[in-house]
Amino acid sequence: MKNAVSYVRVSSDDQAKSGFSIPQQITNNMNFAVQNGYKIDKTFKDEGISAKDLNRPALQDLLAYCMDKSNNVEAVVVWKLDRISRSIADYSATLEPFFKENNIKLLTVTDINGDGLDVEMMRQISMVFAERERKTAALRTKEGIRGKVATGQYPYHAPIGYENIVQKGSKYKKMIIDEANAFFVRRAYVLCLQGDSIRTITSKLYKEGFRNKHGNKHPKTTVEYILRNRAYTGKFYYDGSLIEDTNYPPLIDEATYFAVQKKLNAPEKTRQTHTEFAYNECMTCSVCGCRMTGERKLKTSKKSGTRTYIYYHCTGNRGGECKRTSYVRQELIDEAIINVLKGITIPGEIHDLVIKGLKDVHKEHNKDFEQRKRSIRQRINKIDKMLKDVFESGMGKYSESLQQTIQDWDIERKTLILEEQELLKITKTFFEQSNCLLEFCKNCHRAFLKANPEQKRRIVQIVCSNFSYDGENIIIEPNQVFKTIIKSGLNKKKLPRLDSNQQPTG
């Protein structure tokens, strides 16, 4: 029998769920190991700890134990991949390479096992979702944000023009209008409707006395945020749904708000020229960290006469010295990206395997969600019935304690409905997104060739985690999932430096 160790973990959240318990994980891992010809040598246990990072005592012990060659560990068994990590970065950059280097297999009882590219891809894709699930769960518990929303409270910092006051006898704060700043908020909307640009509004408000806490000028971005913040209408977006039943007064009426949005979204002439440069928003100068910006330049050659080309150069906004010393032509950037995209192809049979695997992972995730969804629904129905009974009996009118209970039920009901909506969204997007990713991989190189500047920018943003120019080389670092697909070292493309006679004129 081959030697294996077992790793088990529960977070404080998991402890309530069935199927996650430590003893169950230990038994499942044990049975799985035996069935596959392994004997469990040692079990590492992290209790009440999240897998958001690698800072877990038992996990650290496990890694040290694995590294010690005298222990002769051949495999690590986990019940589910998300037990060992819920961070794509930790998994891909640390754990996966660690096990590979030490020639140790990472085996999971409920997820897929194997050495192929398809398995590795699927593990990474499911890791992306494990990470997302963790973030959603964090959001859910964070300061009872959901409970706040259910009571109609604005759950974030009070926007400029409002302030929070503590209410007597309630754990929640109440948001009221801060008249001094509310004046400037209303004024910003008026000026915008009169046709002033955000820049003009910003300086007008400053002249009229609009200041931040430290007595300084509010930046343009703050003014733009004020003009776009839905919360001023007394309604706000929380997690994709519009919360209309709120407990604070509006500052701006809806008609004004929407008229302003229309103005802000109207295409300006200056913006239109900007869109012809595909890489303005996403390419950086790796020398100083500034954005690169596109520019049309004339270039004369004997062969083709005078033509205009798009060149990118560092904006040097941070006072760097590299400003305008080094230009790179758009065609060369396109070519470098196409070279990377060409590497992102998935052979047909692997594509099918991954799809099948994803469906299984999806089903597994769904099981947990379905259970939770059902219990939420049951509770909502129960509350509805209790409310109905109370109202029909007429008792609610007379008893004060019953009135409090009714209020509590109401809040619980609203909280549950928010959670239900969130769950519906997650289950719907899980498979769609993975599928979308695979479809994208099938076609991205061709899609790029046909894309307009806006679409090119989107593709680059999806594929690249680093996209920059160091004065000589275009550096394209794909995201982890794509790296796995590419697997070849085609990350850097050497380019000849544009010497003086190649510099554009004009």
Which residues make Cβ contacts (< 8 Å) with residue 82, sequence separation at least 6?
Answer: 51, 126, 127, 130, 133
- Judged by beta carbon, residue 418 or residue 476, the one nearer Zn ion is 476
Q: Which of 30, 106, 149, 290 binds Zn ion (CB under 5 A)?
A: 290
By the 10 Å C-beta count (0-12 exposed, 13-18 middle, 19+ buried), 381 is classed as exposed
Selected range binding Zn ion among 15-23, 50-58, 319-327, 400-408, rule: CB under 5 A: 319-327
Alpha carbon of 25 to those of 8, 34, 110, 123, 240: distances in Å?
A: 6, 14, 11, 20, 36
The answer to the question of residue 332 lying near Zn ion (CB under 5 A) is: no
Closest CA to 272 of 104, 453, 107, 150: 453
- For the bound state, the minimum distance from the C-beta of residue 322 to Zn ion, rounded and expressed in Å, comes to 4
Give me the least distance between CB of 287 and Zn ion, in Å please: 4
Is residue 314 within the footprint of Zn ion (CB under 5 A)?
A: yes
Could you tell me the CA-to-CA distances from 75 to 4, 72, 182, 457 in Å, in that order?
5, 9, 63, 42
Q: Compute the least distance from the CB of residue 327 to Zn ion, in Å.
A: 12
Which among 36-44, 219-227, 280-288, 430-438 is the span making contact with Zn ion, rule CB under 5 A?
280-288
Coil, helix or strand at residue 175: strand
Of 84-92, 157-165, 285-293, 337-345, the window that binds Zn ion (rule: CB under 5 A) is 285-293
Interface with Zn ion (CB under 5 A), residue from 58, 198, 287, 426:
287
CA–CA dist 342, 336 (Å, integer): 10
Contacting Zn ion (CB under 5 A), which of 182, 205, 322, 340? 322
Tokens of 99: 């096990």
Identify which range of 61-69, 310-318, 363-371, 394-402 contacts Zn ion by CB under 5 A. Answer: 310-318
Relative to beta strand 284-285, strand 464-469 is parallel
Taking Cα atoms as reference points, which of 11, 5, 4, 22 lies closest to residue 85?
11
Alpha-carbon distances of 364 from 251, 360, 377, rounded to whole Å:
46, 6, 20
- Closer residue to Zn ion in complex, CB, 117/288: 288
Between CA 227 and CA 441 the distance in angstroms is: 38
Nearer to Zn ion, 81 or 290 (CB): 290
User: Running DSSP on this structure, what letter comes out for residue 472?
Assistant: S
Least distance to Zn ion, CB of residue 288, Å: 3
Cβ of residue 502: shortest distance to Zn ion, in angstroms? 19
Q: With binding defined as CB under 5 A, does residue 320 bind Zn ion?
A: yes
From CA 323, how far away is CA 343, in angstroms rounded?
A: 33
Interface segment toward Zn ion; rule CB under 5 A; list 162-170, 178-186, 321-329, 428-436 = 321-329
Q: What number of chain residues touch Zn ion (CB under 5 A)?
A: 7
The nearer residue to Zn ion, 17 or 324, going by C-beta atoms, is 324
Contact between 472 and Zn ion by CB under 5 A: the answer reads no
- Nearest distance from C-beta of residue 277 to Zn ion, angstroms: 17
Q: What is the contact mask toward Zn ion in residues 236 to 275, using x (rule: CB under 5 A)?
A: ----------------------------------------
Count, residues in the chain = 506
| Farthest-apart Cα atoms in the chain, separation | 96
Question: According to the binding rule CB under 5 A, does residue 288 interact with Zn ion?
Answer: yes
Shortest spacing between CB 270 and Zn ion, in angstroms: 23
Q: Could you tell me which stretch among 25-33, 58-66, 160-168, 309-317 binds Zn ion (CB under 5 A)?
A: 309-317
Long-range contacts of 372-378 (CB under 8 A, 24+ apart): 372/423, 373/420, 373/423, 373/424, 376/416, 376/419, 376/420, 376/423, 377/420
- By the criterion CB under 5 A, which residues form the site for Zn ion? 285, 287-288, 290, 314, 320, 322
